[in-house]
């Protein structure tokens, strides 16, 4: 248990970034019974893509739990550790890749939770309290909102973030990477996430642990006091930037 008040944290985040999409928590379970014990859990009546499970939580506000049998294919299962990885990617040849070598390289590049430990996964709005200790949180935001979130993460204990782009199956860049490494993970949602998960053109996705979002929000509060906040007002492409730069890049007294 993280001890973080997720309802308060999400409220702070929404006040800072004015998000239009629900922040959700995702958690893996070692038994199906643990997942099914979540209050008001919904179970699919037909197979779904993981993108759709996430979409039902973020776009509809539902709490949804799945097992391997509920997911449409091996790729969805593998990224969250509910099935083994397809090492060759042969099915993607002449679809997403022009040769087997490229398909295989993409499959091996995916960040996946190791298979064998977990039997179920659930997603729920983070501020609902139904999953009080999610493994990760998913934050959908525009590029402008996302850079302020990243700046918040970097306000103290700075580190350079280096994220991956596998192309299709970009869920491996976000929740797959965050679940398997514990690191904040940014992605450009892929074709499947937009087609099946309902992600609009303008949104990016950050997957991160609750403690990291707490750190980011604290950083954004500090940035806001320095006048660096969302929305970022345009200064004007023909203006002398000296006065604005002096306020944005100099320490405040």
pLDDT in tens, 12-39: 999 999 999 999 999 999 999 999 999 9
pLDDT digits (tens, 9 = 90+) for 75-84: 999 999 999 9
25 contacts 134 by C-beta, under 8 angstroms: yes
Distant-in-sequence, close-in-space partners of 22: CB < 8 Å, separation ≥ 6: 57, 58, 59, 61, 125, 126
Question: What is the rounded average pLDDT of the residues 108-117?
Answer: 97
Segment 148-161, tens digit of pLDDT: 999 999 999 999 99
Establish if 38 belongs to a structural domain. yes
Structure tokens, 75: 């790729």
- On whether residue 58 sits in a domain, the answer given is yes
Does 243 fall in a domain? no
Is 253's pLDDT higher than 60? no
- Dist CA 4 CA 11 (whole Å): 13
φ/ψ of 44, rounded to 5, equals -60, 145
pTM for the model stands at 0.96
Q: How far is CA 230 from CA 102, 139, 220, in A?
A: 40, 16, 9
Mean pLDDT over 163-177 rounds to: 97
Say if 248 falls within a structural domain. Answer: no
Into how many domains does the chain fold? Answer: 1
Domain of 145 in residue numbering reads as: 6-232
253 in any annotated domain: no
Contact 78, 85 (CB under 8 A): yes
Residue 247 domain-assigned (yes or no) = no
Which pLDDT band, with edges at 50, 70 and 90, does 243 fall under?
Answer: confident
Residue for token digits 């192309």? 167
pLDDT at residue 124 is higher than 70: yes
- Mean confidence (pLDDT) of the chain: 96
184 in a domain, yes or no? Answer: yes
246 band by pLDDT with thresholds 50, 70 and 90: confident
Write down the pLDDT at residue 252.
61
pLDDT at 250: 79
* 100 belongs to a structural domain: yes
* Token duo for residue 127: 């501020």
CB 126 within 8 A of CB 139: no
Report helix, strand or coil for 137. strand
């Amino acid at each position: 248990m993280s001890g973080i008040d997720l309802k308060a944290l999400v409220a702070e985040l929404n006040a800072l970034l004015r998000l239009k999409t629900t922040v959700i928590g995702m958690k893996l379970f070692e038994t199906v019974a643990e997942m099914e014990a979540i209050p008001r859990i919904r179970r699919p009546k037909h197979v779904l893509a993981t993108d759709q499970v996430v979409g039902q939580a973020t776009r509809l506000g539902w709490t949804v739990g799945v097992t391997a049998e509920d997911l449409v294919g091996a790729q969805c299962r593998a990224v969250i550790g509910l099935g083994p990885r397809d090492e060759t990617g042969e099915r993607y040849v002449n679809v997403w890749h022009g040769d087997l070598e490229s398909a295989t390289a993409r499959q091996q590049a995916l960040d996946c939770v190791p298979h064998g430990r977990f039997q179920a996964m659930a997603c729920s709005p983070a501020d609902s309290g139904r999953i009080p200790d999610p493994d990760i949180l998913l934050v959908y935001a525009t590029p402008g909102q996302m850079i302020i979130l990243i700046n918040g993460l970097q306000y103290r204990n700075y580190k350079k973030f280096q994220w991956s782009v596998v192309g299709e199956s970009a869920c491996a860049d976000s929740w797959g990477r965050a679940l398997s490494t514990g690191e904040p993970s940014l992605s450009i949602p892929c074709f499947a996430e937009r087609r099946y998960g309902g992600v609009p053109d303008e949104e990016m996705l950050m997957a991160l642990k609750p403690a990291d979002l707490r750190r980011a929000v604290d950083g954004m509060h500090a940035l806001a006091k320095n006048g660096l906040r969302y929305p970022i007002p345009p200064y004007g492409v023909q203006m002398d930037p000296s006065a604005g730069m002096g306020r944005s890049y100099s320490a405040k007294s």
